[in-house]
Amino acid sequence: MKKVLYIVTAIMIAAFVILGFTLKNNSGRKSASNTLANSEHSTEPEEPSITTAEQLAMIVEQAKQGKTPTFQGTAGKTTSQEVGEDWAVSGTPAETEAGIYSNYPDHDATIGTRGGIVFDVRYAGEDLKEIHYEDLQAELGNPDKVKTFKDAAHDRVIWIYQVSPDYQLKWILPQPTDKTPNPTVDHIAVWTKVETKEEKMLSEMTLEEKIGQLVIAGIEGTSINQASRQLIEHYQIGGVIFYANNVDTTEQTVHYVNSLKAANQTNPLPLFTSIDQEGGRVARLPKQIAKLPTAAAIGRTNDPDYAFTIGQTLGKQLTQFGFNMNFAPVLDVNSNPNNPVIGNRSFSSNPKVVSALGIQTMKGIEKQHVIPVVKHFPGHGDTSVDSHLELPKVNKTLQQLEQLELIPFKKAIEEHADVVMVAHILLPQLDKTYPASMSAPIITGLLRKQLGYNGLIMTDDMTMKAITNHYGIAQAAVQSVKAGSDVILVAHDPAKTIAVIDALKEAVASKQITEQRIDESVMRIMELKLKYKLSDAPAHKVNVEQLNKEICSVLKK
């Protein structure tokens, strides 16, 4: 009996021990759970998971691979299309000289692309606020380069480290001041050089090929001759212009254009094949082609859709003949009834009408893959002298021009005009020395900087007496390029074209013009030719009957 009692007692003690252990464990789990729950609602800051030194080391390692904390593609390899597939862009991408920048706020990132490839990755996450100016000095040492940036809203210092042969890591932060001697990082950027297709082509071109691209030349006769062939094959001109004396029949014109393109086959870029086909009295195509109305007649309709249709029809005409550039539309405001050169070539004396109809005509031409050239900047409408015969003078201030002449050109720039032609007009209030076509204050100062125009700038014909009565054509061409022109139009006399090309070569050799300045213009020319997919492929036979039928249909509207 005692033995049984001892056994029962032992079992009871063991049970209490086990129960106590179980309760203790459950109590521990409950305590841990409560601790976790409390920590989730705690208002006290958590300890940083990594040190600043570790964070800097991580960013540097990512930069060596072309990455940032949120961008795990590879700068220099990842395409803009791939970024777009993964990330949602905010707002309209910004076009700059460096590239196209798009903002991705959900990823604290701004991505720069060139030729569709990511080259600049900017990251502005909140975690960078833990990094200070002195941390960079202490952990990364002196940068390879230091740059500064200052405008009305920012005063920044940029520390640049070459973290690998391919990548730079840039730290952008406010300039240290006595009040804030140790500022925090604003953002970082991982940058790599990306060579676009155009840059690669440019690097392979000779100086002679580059300078040739800066010239559109007039040609002789109604078929290719030795002089024209020499301009293309030896001087490698960028384009040709046709006038009425180069045009006879439809078959002859197509054959002439095709023969010039064939002569250009060994050159690095296709030709601009250009012509003045405005409609009305300025129409160079063969007489078999039905006429289109003047700009003034279009202006009287005040119908933008009609203007667009006219532009499309102009483009169709030129495409069939093998032309890819049209010196139209005219954006001059016809404000002077005594103007001997503009008149009904202008849409109106009202700048709003000129803007609305001129831009729609421009877009209609573009629609047919023909390059429109808006003209004659900064406005030829208030002149009483024909620049073909003498140099006109317009004594208006910039403020006066902004209230009238510049309005259509500003609108064209907003609508991404590809080419602006600059007139031979002296505007002494803007430049007392040179006409607009040779003026740095007008071409670079007004058109480029003030109006923000990034497209191609070309001169009116440099063989016009507005120039030749006052300057040697070679001197004028050099001054025009120095002023900011990209293309010099030499519409008559192959000898004058050669003189211009030789003068530009000499200007580079004597360092009046840098090769970099030439490259800037060639890049714009190249980008435009690639944008419109220009080709030296031959045009086919013109269907005159069908073309005229379409023109008549347009005129009935």
Enzyme catalytic residues: 388, 460
Q: What is the distance in angstroms between the CA of the first residue and the CA of the last residue of the chain?
A: 125
Contact in structure between 232 and 264 (CB atoms under 8 Å) = yes
Distance CA(358)–CA(408), nearest Å, equals 8
The region that residue 294 occupies, defined by phi over 0 for left and psi between -120 and 50 for alpha, beta otherwise, is beta
- Provide CB contacts within 8 A for 215, sequence distance 6+: 235, 237, 238, 239, 487, 488, 490, 497, 500, 501
Tokens representing residue 474 in the block: 């070679």
Distance CA(73)–CA(112), nearest Å, equals 13
Contact in structure between 457 and 418 (CB atoms under 8 Å) = no
Instruction: Count CB neighbours of 373 within 10 A.
Output: 24
Residue of 311, 429, 438 lying closest to 373 (CA atoms): 311
- Provide CB contacts within 8 A for 315, sequence distance 6+: 326, 364, 365, 366, 367, 368, 369, 370
DSSP labels for 377-415?
A: ET--TT-SS-TTTS--B----HHHHHHTTHHHHHHHHHT
Instruction: Count CB neighbours of 502 within 10 A.
Output: 13
